[in-house]
Amino acid sequence: MSAIFLREIRAYFKAPLGYVFVGATCLFAGLYFYAYNLFGGAASLDSLFSALFSVELFLIPILTMRLLSEERRQKTDQLLLTSPVSGMGIILGKYLAAMAVFALAAGVTLLDAAVLDAFARVNWKLTLGSYAGLVLFGAALVAICLFLSSLTESQLIAAVSGFSVSLLVILLDTLAPILDNAVLKALCGYLNFASRYAPFTYGVFALENVIFFLSIAGLFLYLTTARMERRRWS
Could you read off the pLDDT of 74-126 as tens digits, one per residue?
Answer: 777 666 666 677 778 889 999 999 999 999 999 999 999 998 888 888 888 88
CB 142 within 8 A of CB 64: yes
Contact 136, 213 (CB under 8 A): yes
Rounded Cα distance, 127 and 113, in Å: 7
pLDDT in tens, 148-162: 999 988 899 999 999
Structure confidence at residue 144 as a pLDDT band (50, 70, 90): very high
What tens digit of pLDDT does each residue of 162-192 get?
Answer: 999 888 887 777 776 777 777 877 787 788 8
Say if residue 104 is exposed, middle or buried (CB neighbours under 10 Å; 0-12, 13-18, 19+). Answer: middle
What's CA 206's distance to the chain center, in Å?
19
pTM for this predicted structure: 0.92
Per-residue model confidence as pLDDT tens digits over 21-33 = 999 999 999 999 9
- Packing angle of the helix pair 46-64, 16-33 (nearest 10 deg): 160
CB-count burial class (<10 Å; 0-12, 13-18, 19+) for 95: buried
Contact assessment for residue 195 and residue 185, using Cβ atoms and an 8 Å cutoff: no
